[in-house]
Structure 1
Amino acid sequence: MQDMTAIARPALVCNSQSGSHDETLRETIAGHCRAAGAPLAATFALPEADLPDAAALTEAGIDALLVWTGDGTINAAAGKAAGWDGAILPLPGGTLNLLSKALHGDRPAEDILADALAGRGRRLHPPIVRCDAGDAYITIVAGPATRWAEVRETLRQDGLIEASQEAPEALSAMLDAPGVRIAPDGSGYQAVILTPTARGVRADGVLTESATDVLRHGLAWLGGDFRDGPSETITTAAMLTLESAQPIGLELDGEMAELGRRAKFWGDVSKVAFLSTA
């Protein structure tokens, strides 16, 4: 059962150096908590502060961690808080905010927080995908097409000229680099998208059969959401293994990683609870 949970002693995680950080909204979040009779007990402002672990949150009596950042930082905060008996409330504070949208719908942080403070948040442990490189709450993208993620980050941080210098290499990887396949005898793809579901890990293969497919994928990556590109469903399984002729590049909830030429992925549930207001 998904219990409705009231918040009594919240803490906030934010990133004061993020390009999307808004100090006015930060004050609004703190004001909402005070008005609800649940003032912030602590604020962990990255990068100066460290993400709190389960022991620190328990010692401080925190019952809800408001993580107002992007998907990658929410992922990291959940990993640090594993085993804590409180709950994480993701608030949209990044570029895509996919986890916040999954748990709350596409709504502003103030509305989500108002519902949670009023006790309209449901406590749940969402499904995740696990591998030796870490956990994913939204998706793992595996394969050479993840090179486009690096171009996207360059575009965000350094601008169009710098990103355009990296684009040819990403295009080459999309067209020519060895792909990945589900062992032992699956078809090859330039990327496989792994999504956690209640039934296990869903695998979708990225389609690059034509120049139009490749262009659509490049635009999807640069636009932020790779899932907008053409793909086909391969399978859903409790565990699967990917193979490639080269080390497998990964994007886990927006963060880059790499595994060897053969890597296992399996379904699990989050080791920390989340609050959903959807």
Structure 2
Amino acid sequence: MLINPLSGSVGPRAVVEAETILADYGCEASVVALEGGQFDEQISAALEAKPDVLFVLAGDGTAGTIASRAGPEGPLVAPLPGGTMNMLPKALYGTGDWKLALRRALEEGAQQPVAGGEVTDGDFTQSFYCAAIFGSPALWAPAREAMRTGKIKLAFAHARRALRRAFSGRLRFSLDGRKERRAEALVLISPMISRAMEENTGLEAAAMNPSDAMEAFRLAAHAVMDDWRQDPAVTTRSTQRVAIVARSRIPAVIDGEPTQLHHKAKVRFIREAFRALAPIPPAAEDAV
């Protein structure tokens, strides 16, 4: 188990607390505190040890990096909620409490293939397992998270900031080599998160196309308050490969991590990005 004590919601006692929980289950486990400047070496050592499962209690970016390095041939990975947004851990374990997530993984966990996407922008490559947002409304993601935690004023401050940048430059995108289209923003959603995708056949692509400031405001309100995909200014479909072009740098949020891409980027769907140890979703259990 790899722990970053300095990560958002982890805390200085996490190593001791994790060891106590693991002892309750009679696991043969090694708990390692990640140290600044040694992350790569410690992660490599953990993967080279070939454990049955690698628990990760760290920020969203670190957990995603470890999952990517493990890949479908590596050990099972259990990314526990130790970051700020915790999109992937919440999707897998249904909680933002890392101790509860750890117990759920140990008691109810089964091998689950996790699909995702990979964003490439020149030398930059980053995987995602929940969602990637491209365009000025990428800043709505922090607004929605603030709303979920009860920080209403902060949520609308983020929404206003996104609206100020709206219409500053639309994206052009192509899905699976089809005709290029324009949109204010493009959201790519993994099958694990998507309400529209029932199987691991591709990413759900949702294009946002508000025609004026009033529609943009309504769409921003949907983004903060409920499911914005129900808005008439949003169209969705399945895709496996995406090309994105803009006149200037593209603001993006990739699994909760904000970044700036160059004016061109590509995204590809990965059917099995890594294998997680997590409870089987009810829908999957019914299918079995």
Q: TM-score, length-normalised on structure 2? A: 0.72
- The aligned residue for residue 200 of structure 1 is 202
Q: TM-score, length-normalised on structure 1? A: 0.74
Change (3 A) 1:244 1:97: same
- The aligned residue for residue 103 of structure 1 is 92
**1:178 alignment partner, SS class:** coil
**1:114 alignment partner, SS class:** helix
C-alpha distance in structure 2 between counterparts of 1:13 and 1:272, whole Å? 20
Q: Which is worse superposed, 67-76 or 255-264?
A: 255-264
* 2:184 corresponds to which of 184, 190, 199: 190
- Answering whether residue 114 of structure 2 is matched by residue 126 of structure 1, we say yes
Gaps of 5+ in 1: 1-10, 154-159
C-alpha distance in structure 2 between counterparts of 1:59 and 1:34, whole Å? 23
| 1:187 to partner: Cα distance | 4.2
C-alpha distance in structure 1 between counterparts of 2:86 and 2:230, whole Å? 18
Change (3 A) 1:38 1:249: same
- Answering whether residue 68 of structure 2 is matched by residue 74 of structure 1, we say no
C-alpha distance in structure 1 between counterparts of 2:81 and 2:228, whole Å? 19
- The aligned residue for residue 195 of structure 2 is none
C-alpha distance in structure 2 between counterparts of 1:196 and 1:45, whole Å? 29
| 1:88 to partner: Cα distance | 0.9
Q: Which is worse superposed, 266-275 or 53-62?
A: 53-62
Change (3 A) 1:125 1:54: farther
Q: Which is worse superposed, 103-112 or 135-144?
A: 103-112
- The aligned residue for residue 171 of structure 1 is 163
- The aligned residue for residue 269 of structure 2 is 267
| 1:17 to partner: Cα distance | 2.4
Amino acid at match of 1:266: R
Asked if 2 retains the 8 angstrom alpha-carbon contact of 1:216 and 1:229, the reply is no
Change (3 A) 1:38 1:212: farther
Gaps of 5+ in 2: 146-152, 192-199, 281-288
| 1:37 to partner: Cα distance | 1.7
Deviations 1:17-36 (Å, cap 9, x if unpaired)? 23423334553322111221
Amino acid at match of 1:135: S
- The aligned residue for residue 139 of structure 1 is 131
| 1:12 to partner: Cα distance | 2.5
Change (3 A) 1:227 1:125: farther
C-alpha distance in structure 2 between counterparts of 1:144 and 1:167, whole Å? 11
| 1:167 to partner: Cα distance | 7.7
